Amino acid sequence: MPRLARPRAIFFDWHGTLADTFEAMYLAVEDMLPLLGELALAERIVPPGSGRVPEHEALIEHVRRSRGLPQHIKDERRISRTEIFEILFGGDEGAKHVAHEAFDRCYMQHFAEVHPFEPGVPAMLGKLRAAGLKTGMLTNRRRALFARELARVDGTGWQGLFDVVVCGDDVRRRKPAPDMVQRALEELGMAAGADVWFVGDSTTDTIAAKLAGVTAVYYNGAKWEAGYLVRIFPGEHRPDAIAGNFVALEALAIPVPRRTG
């Protein structure tokens, strides 16, 4: 973790960062992908050779051929539906919008338990707020779905831990567009700058942060190897820092004063 500007606000992604909803998410994606034909999305999958890395190219080809996810992706539990749609549809915002809407309908059938991605999340958020930082949640989830998950996570719910929440259906464009970051800043009456951090587990979060002009902190909860991270991030959208866990993030955001004398 390099030295960053002391934050006034920290925004977080939901799935894959603060919360683990992989099981329901992959079930919903598996329900949605066979619908690509009737949704008129099959012909909008990016052409061969469009993948940023060989792993993306293999995913594109597998979905085009089988209308499903490779088993290893479901087993590894590392990649989100937003990343999957980014890989499949690239810059086609219309196609991604249709895909997200179809996913939401499928996800309603699989919504279940929600667990913290790592222990101590509520305590960390509480410490950030006690230190005077604003906290925010930026999720591509539809608000109705996210509200249910927020109330259920950890068996008790995490309501009251965020100063601002922006969901996928609150803005015109989901991440990786900067709209959600900009909306959160507007609601807090804050300007974009290095003293606003956005912490997320995907390239879409990092790109949204960079486009919005705030500090991008990549949360490597999936424990990707360094070589893979170098390959998946476009040069101009590389994160400003990478955190492997929330202990490191908390220490960076709230430095302990040095003793003197």
Task: Please indicate, yes or no, whether residues 136 and 40 belong to a single structural domain of this protein.
Answer: no
**What are the pLDDT digits (tens) for 244-256?**
999 989 988 997 6
Assigned domain for 32 exists? yes
Strand ranges (DSSP E) for the chain?
9-12, 19-20, 115-116, 134-139, 164-167, 196-200, 215-219, 241-243
Q: What are phi and psi for residue 68, nearest 5 degrees?
A: -160, 175
Residue 131 CA: distances (Å) to CA of 106, 134, 149, 241, 257: 40, 9, 26, 21, 13
- Residue 210 pLDDT greater than 90, yes or no: yes
**How far apart, in whole angstroms, are the C-alpha atoms of residue 70 and residue 80?**
13
- Percent of the residues in the chain that have a pLDDT greater than 90, as a whole number: 81
Residue 238 CA: distances (Å) to CA of 2, 26, 76, 209, 252: 13, 27, 23, 10, 19
Q: Measured on CA atoms in the order 176, 137, 127, 119, is the torsion positive or negative?
A: negative
Give the confidence band of 155 by pLDDT, cuts at 50, 70, 90.
confident
- Residue 2 pLDDT greater than 80, yes or no: no
Quote the pLDDT of residue 259: 59
Task: Please indicate, yes or no, whether residues 139 and 212 belong to a single structural domain of this protein.
Answer: yes
Question: Strand 196-200 to strand 9-12: parallel, antiparallel, or no bridges (unpaired)?
Answer: parallel
Task: Please indicate, yes or no, whether residues 37 and 160 belong to a single structural domain of this protein.
Answer: no
Quote the pLDDT of residue 12: 98
Task: Please indicate, yes or no, whether residues 168 and 235 belong to a single structural domain of this protein.
Answer: yes
Among 65, 83, 107, the domain boundary falls at 107
**How far apart, in whole angstroms, are the C-alpha atoms of residue 190 and residue 192?**
7
Q: What are phi and psi for residue 215, nearest 5 degrees?
A: -75, 130
Quote the pLDDT of residue 256: 67
Quote the pLDDT of residue 6: 93
Q: Which domain holds residue 32?
A: 22-107
Q: How many separate domains does the chain show?
A: 2
CATH number of the domain to which 176 belongs = 3.40.50.1000
Quote the pLDDT of residue 258: 56
- Residue 59 pLDDT greater than 80, yes or no: yes
- Which helix (H) or strand (E) segment holds residue 70: the answer is none
- Residue 257 pLDDT greater than 70, yes or no: no
Task: Please indicate, yes or no, whether residues 98 and 190 belong to a single structural domain of this protein.
Answer: no
**What are the pLDDT digits (tens) for 90-133?**
999 999 999 999 999 999 999 878 999 999 999 999 999 999 99
- Residue 189 pLDDT greater than 60, yes or no: yes
Q: Which positions ≥6 away from 115 have C-beta within 8 Å?
A: 19, 20, 153, 154
Task: Please indicate, yes or no, whether residues 165 and 245 belong to a single structural domain of this protein.
Answer: yes
**How far apart, in whole angstroms, are the C-alpha atoms of residue 42 and residue 88?**
10
**What are the pLDDT digits (tens) for 9-52?**
999 999 999 999 999 999 999 999 999 999 999 999 999 999 98
CB atoms within 10 A of CB 96: 23
- Residue 216 pLDDT greater than 70, yes or no: yes
Task: Please indicate, yes or no, whether residues 222 and 145 belong to a single structural domain of this protein.
Answer: yes
